[in-house]
Amino acid sequence: MPKFSWQAGLIFGLCAKILVALWDDGFHCGDIVLWSRVRALEDEGVFEMKDDGTLMHESSVRLRQGAV
């Protein structure tokens, strides 16, 4: 898979893995907190978002080329 490909369904899996890791470390937050961070990184130019980002399950994101 190319490094800069659009990721849609993987967002749910990624959020789930992060939530489990955070809970294991004693930090409790929800998927809305993580999605807010994804949207903030899009605003900062780290990610590109294909949709408006209102709904996590309908949005696709990818790492912006040159952001690394």
More confident residue, 24 or 17: 24
User: Using CA of residue 21, residue 68, residue 7, residue 39, what is the dihedral sign?
Assistant: positive
Q: Read out DSSP for the chain? A: --TT--BSTHHHHHHHHHHHHHHHTT----HHHHHHHHHHHHHTTSEEESS-SSSGGG--EEEPTT--
The pLDDT value recorded for residue 44 is: 92
Q: How confident is the model at residue 62 (pLDDT cuts 50, 70, 90)?
A: confident
The pLDDT value recorded for residue 52 is: 80
The pLDDT value recorded for residue 43 is: 92
pLDDT 10s digits, 18-54:
888 888 888 888 888 888 888 898 899 988 888 787 8
The pLDDT value recorded for residue 1 is: 45
| Entry field: residues in the chain | 68
